[in-house]
Amino acid sequence: MAHETVAYETILVETRDAVGLIRLNRPKALNALSRQLIADLNAGLDAFEADDAIGAIVLTGSEKAFAAGADIKEMQALGYVDVYLDDFVAHWERLAATRKPVIAAVAGFALGGGCELALMCDLVIAADNAKFGQPEITLGLMPGAGGTQRLARSVGKAKTMDMVLTGRMIEAEEAERIGLVSRVVPAAELVDQAVAAASKIAGLSRPSVLMAKEAVNRAFESPLADGIRTERRLFHSLFATEDAREGMAAFLDKRPAAFRNR
């Protein structure tokens, strides 16, 4: 497996064949989401989006913390006019806008903005030591980067109200049970399993992967009838691709498909 590492100030960026790996890297601050970290993350995402050799992305932190939340030291000095004029945390949405699939590989704490960052990803694979929470209420605040919206769409009203109004943390096992995470794996295997899942995705036909992601996301943004129409249009459009013809032929020939992303 080919590895190539690029250095930023607050993240580590690495390629493993067709997978881009981004590690949040502020260990002394438990990967608190400072302005610099988000800027670096967005730059790393932009680079992987532009790289045709990359088919999927893994976002992870350290064994102790995926991200423990927003940087409170930065936030403490801000007033209403500051955050309103700057549209504070809007720039975090770059992750959610990423077209290529992104897998969050979460170990340790994913709290506040860290939980919201994980929810922006397409799959969340959690280590068995992961802890999720939206504790903003204990600071006299509330979630501001999707915690009341994406969390509710993932786990429903009852669990969202529980987490948002009490600020309690939940363990990985409960997070999987309620639908916040896709699967739970041993902490020692977290990154390897996330990269393996990303490699599987990256090896598939890219047009079909991107369209499938778009269709699933539409389910959370539109009425059912509109979502079904979107799905059908995208499904129909794949019949114009070489990869669809190759995939069906390979199935009938009982051989592996050789996708060309066309």
Q: Which residues are catalytic?
A: 70, 113, 116, 136
Instruction: Indicate the DSSP class of residue 108.
Output: B
How many Cβ atoms sit within 10 Å of the Cβ of residue 132? 27
157 near 148, Cβ under 8 Å? no
Measured in whole angstroms, the distance separating CA 136 from the mean position of its chain's CA atoms is 21
Radius of gyration over every alpha carbon of the chain, rounded to an integer in angstroms: 19
110 near 127, Cβ under 8 Å? no
60 near 191, Cβ under 8 Å? yes
Q: Which two tokens stand for residue 192?
A: 């390897």
Nearest C-alpha neighbor of 118 from the set 69, 48, 45, 177: 69
